Amino acid sequence: MSNYNSRETEAKWQAAWESKGAFNVTEDPSKPKYYVLEMFPYPSGRIHMGHVRNYTLGDLVARYKKARGFNVLHPMGWDAFGLPAENAAIANNVPPAQWTRDNISSMRGQLKSMGLSYDWNREIATCDPDYYRHEQKMFLDFLEVGLVYRKQSWVNWDPVENTVLANEQVIDGKGWRSGVDVEKRKLSQWFLKITEYADDLLDTLRELERWPDRVRLMQENWIGRSEGAHIHFKIVDRDDNIKVFTTRHDTLYGASFMAIAANHPLAQELAADNPELADFIAECNRLGTSEAAIETAEKIGVDTGLEVVHPFDPEKKLPVYAANFVLMDYGTGAIFGCPAHDQRDLDFARKYDLDVTPVVAPRDADPATFSVANEAFVDDGVLINSDFLDGMSVPEAKAAAAQRLVDTNSGETTVNFRLRDWGVSRQRYWGCPIPVVHCDGCGIVPVPANQLPVALPEDVNFDQPGNPLAHHPTWKHVDCPECGKPAQRETDTFDTFFESSWYFARFCSAQSDQAFTREAADYWLPVDQYIGGIEHAVLHLLYSRFFTRALKQCGYLGIKEPFVGLMTQGMICHETYRDDAGNWLLPEEAATADGPVTLGRSEKMSKSKKNVVDPENIISEYGADTARLFMLSDSPPDRDLDWTDSGIDGAWRYVNRLWRMMSEPKVALAASGNVRPDNLSGAADTAYRAIHKTVAAVSSDLDKFHFNKAVARIRELTNVLDALDGPEAGVDWVLRQGYEAIVMLIGPMMPHLAEELWQQLGHDIMLTDTAWPEVDETLLVEDTATVAIQVNGKLRGTVDLPKGCDAKEAEKIALAIPRIAEVVEGREIRKVIVVPDRIINVVI
């Protein structure tokens, strides 16, 4: 008995599919279409287990849908721009373009070794000018319709490297390479008006029924719509006022201070002759811009010395603080503080000894004595200490306060979003150039469409700090498209989310000299099933949803939602190992280490913890099918998956078990295509029914993405068929049915093994071109059901009853069972609950 030769078999079928163009598709209006897309990878150089899982899931769906008669589009490409290429360039002195192309070519080979059913004719790389030229045109079109604008925005600036840092490159307020303090700088940058679509992006979430609820919720929170009011507070002894956004205008009488962001223009202005304030602003800038850092920091501030007038009571003046917990990017960058009803305001008020007057009291509290200590009261209640609002509920008071604001010309209701416009400028080299020219005379001039693409120069070097585009000797020097005088190209490039916001559309007609043809897009889009990591739940998916709307607005597309189905996969985890000194060890190092090794718990596979398993080793040792099976069998796709050696061994054993079972069957199989014999023995008949039940169950599991359950069902059927080896009538026929069914069911999971077995079973047509097995519904019906019998909710026995058995009859049979009679003996039966075909509960 020989083991299955995965290496040889997998190469054989990969070549067969390729030479036949088995997965190349074109639009075919006679068939229902199905577009399966997995998030395309960043070409880091080698695939990792997360890719293996992602692409196994996608391939299963693609092959399954193809077997079910769909015209399936299943493409693959490369998200090829990004920071790592520049880091590699600096570290290894390799040009980013070359580094990226080399990586693509080795990763393509790795993906091909997985046997994925891609239409490789549609492969794209986003760093290819034939790709990014189209997004330069899109940007110009967006500019044309007013979806793009320029404004000043803060960045992390590394003064030594002379460059902008990503958040991940700022560690404890210092640059990751230079180690010096990072500064905040204001730069003029391009923004896309995603907020213009905020309401629509939010509302349409409801229609995305095949998206996970949690992703929809995350997007909902990200967009963060809140209804409230703008209030204008007049500044004492000045002509201007401060605009505040609040959702609690009902608590206006409880206001005891005002706070503005450190970056608020007013704070900046006052800092000029207020050193304390200037220091404070510098301090806030060191804290960073992340919400987490701001929210967890101690609430501190500085009195600016200004006062504002309470809009409802001109006698009342509020001090104005600059505070670290007020975000310039949210609302208006200024708040009024109502300590009794907001925890942050309360913390702040206690620190600076500000007044805490409750203006909402719980319904059961005594308004005269109700007070707030160190916990703000944020629930609904009755308004107190609030003049004309007294006695109202919170919603009533909001309405009344809003009306008074309008009447006194000091404010109005408004809707505010947490969502901010999308800043797309990056001060980086390895990205798509932003197609504009800066001219001293004409200002900012878009590059005319016929001059696109603005191609990225590849002859750059990283021997000096800063963006190589900016100090390239010739690249940025051009003539102004408008006046013809010398001008300069914009040296910023797009955020790489720009490329991934429309690649799904490019795949519809990847060879086209347009971004995509409308005809192909209309046929294939939207993506029916998108599959990728949960880490993209908000940004990439939201930007793509916005981009699709923007493209529709510019006439490129007819749809506004790019992905109607979404599946998010969990992470791959693995045990961690450390040596005596606490250094992380690779799994293979741990196995051969001299000294003692400490076994850590299973964590997300990461280079830093070295707990990675290289897919290439696994595939060459066990084959792609084994790796794929393991990816599918243990955990549901959306949960984290623990990589274990015993798990991969188990998958390998099953591959071989199927191989042996079918290549050397214990009973000579009936000829292919024979009709069902009418004398099936009992065992053969039961097994035959099991085949149909399995096909039905697996189909339904695959439809619901319960892949681990589908694998379990197939293994169960394997057990049934393995036990069926007697000389009874019809066994040879049922075994053929069963083997063929199993091969067809595993086709989407282990395509190479399945093709090989299919051929061995005598088929000339490839399994890839074979339809999914049919289910004979009549074989699924059972005529008896095993009914559980409980006494007082405790299981005391079971009984087989005819399906749909009469309740009275069932009760009689149950009570007659000796074990039941014994337990019930001498007790009064108070009630008997009969759930037909399921359970009988005797209450005594």
Partner RNA sequence: GCCCCUGUGGCGGAACUGGUAGACGCGCUGGAUUCAAAAUCCAGUUCCCGCAAGGGAGUGGGAGUUCGAUUCUCCCCGGGGGCACCA
Asked whether the beta carbons of 401 and 313 are under 8 A apart, the reply is no
Could you tell me which stretch among 396-404, 413-421, 467-475, 506-514 binds RNA (CB under 7 A)? 413-421
Secondary structure (DSSP) of 38-98: EPPPP--SS--HHHHHHHHHHHHHHHHHHHTT-EEE---EE---SHHHHHHHHHH---HHH
Q: Which of 354, 586, 788, 815 binds RNA (CB under 7 A)?
A: 788
| Backbone torsions φ then ψ of 840, nearest 5 degrees | -125, 120
**6 lies in the site for RNA, by CB under 7 A:** no
Q: Which of 408, 451, 617, 792 binds RNA (CB under 7 A)?
A: 792
Mask of contacts with RNA, 686-715, x by CB under 7 A? Answer: --------------------x-xx-xx--x
Could you tell me which stretch among 152-160, 332-340, 363-371, 408-416 binds RNA (CB under 7 A)? 152-160
For residue 292, give the 3-state DSSP assignment: helix
842, containing H or E segment: strand 839-843
Asked whether the beta carbons of 311 and 252 are under 8 A apart, the reply is yes
**815 lies in the site for RNA, by CB under 7 A:** no
Residue list 14-43, contact with RNA (CB under 7 A): 42
**821 lies in the site for RNA, by CB under 7 A:** no
Least distance in angstroms from the C-beta of 604 to RNA:
6
- Indicate the angle between helix axes 645-663 and 707-723, nearest 10 degrees: 40
**213 lies in the site for RNA, by CB under 7 A:** yes
Residue list 462-501, contact with RNA (CB under 7 A): 495-497, 500
**236 lies in the site for RNA, by CB under 7 A:** no
Residue list 278-317, contact with RNA (CB under 7 A): 289-292, 295-296
Q: What residues are paired with 439 via a beta bridge?
A: 443
CA distances, 2 to each of 617, 627, 762 (Å)? 22, 20, 20
Least distance in angstroms from the C-beta of 230 to RNA:
19
Q: Which of 165, 338, 402, 478 binds RNA (CB under 7 A)?
A: 165
How many C-beta neighbours within 10 Å does residue 633 have? 21
CA 555 centroid distance within chain: 28
Q: Which of 640, 703, 769, 809 binds RNA (CB under 7 A)?
A: 640
CA 281 centroid distance within chain: 36
Could you tell me which stretch among 130-138, 240-248, 645-653, 679-687 binds RNA (CB under 7 A)? 645-653
CA distances, 721 to each of 614, 689, 694, 715 (Å)? 35, 12, 12, 10
**210 lies in the site for RNA, by CB under 7 A:** no
Could you tell me which stretch among 142-150, 380-388, 636-644, 679-687 binds RNA (CB under 7 A)? 636-644
Residue list 534-563, contact with RNA (CB under 7 A): 534-536, 538-540
For residue 717, give the 3-state DSSP assignment: helix
**5 lies in the site for RNA, by CB under 7 A:** no
**831 lies in the site for RNA, by CB under 7 A:** yes
For residue 35, give the 3-state DSSP assignment: strand
Measured at the CA of 149, the angle between CA 498 and CA 240, to 5 degrees, comes to 135
The conformation of residue 446, written as its DSSP 8-state character, comes to E
722, containing H or E segment: helix 707-723
CB-neighbour burial class of residue 316 (10 A; exposed 0-12, middle 13-18, buried 19+): middle
Residue list 602-621, contact with RNA (CB under 7 A): 603-604
- Indicate the angle between helix axes 624-633 and 751-760, nearest 10 degrees: 110
For RNA, which is the closer residue by CB, 25 or 60?
60
Least distance in angstroms from the C-beta of 258 to RNA:
21
For RNA, which is the closer residue by CB, 86 or 728?
86
For RNA, which is the closer residue by CB, 406 or 591?
591
Could you tell me which stretch among 10-18, 265-273, 392-400, 787-795 binds RNA (CB under 7 A)? 787-795
Q: Which of 25, 164, 346, 750 binds RNA (CB under 7 A)?
A: 164
Least distance in angstroms from the C-beta of 50 to RNA:
11
For RNA, which is the closer residue by CB, 201 or 480?
201
Measured at the CA of 454, the angle between CA 39 and CA 427, to 5 degrees, comes to 70
Asked whether the beta carbons of 552 and 544 are under 8 A apart, the reply is no
Q: Kindly state the number of chain residues that form the binding site for RNA, as judged by CB under 7 A.
A: 96
**214 lies in the site for RNA, by CB under 7 A:** yes
For RNA, which is the closer residue by CB, 319 or 650?
650
Residue list 648-667, contact with RNA (CB under 7 A): 649-650, 653-654, 656-657
Distance CA 247, CA 250 (A): 8
Least distance in angstroms from the C-beta of 518 to RNA:
28
**829 lies in the site for RNA, by CB under 7 A:** no
Q: Which of 159, 224, 457, 465 binds RNA (CB under 7 A)?
A: 224
Question: Which two tokens mark 829?
Answer: 């039966």
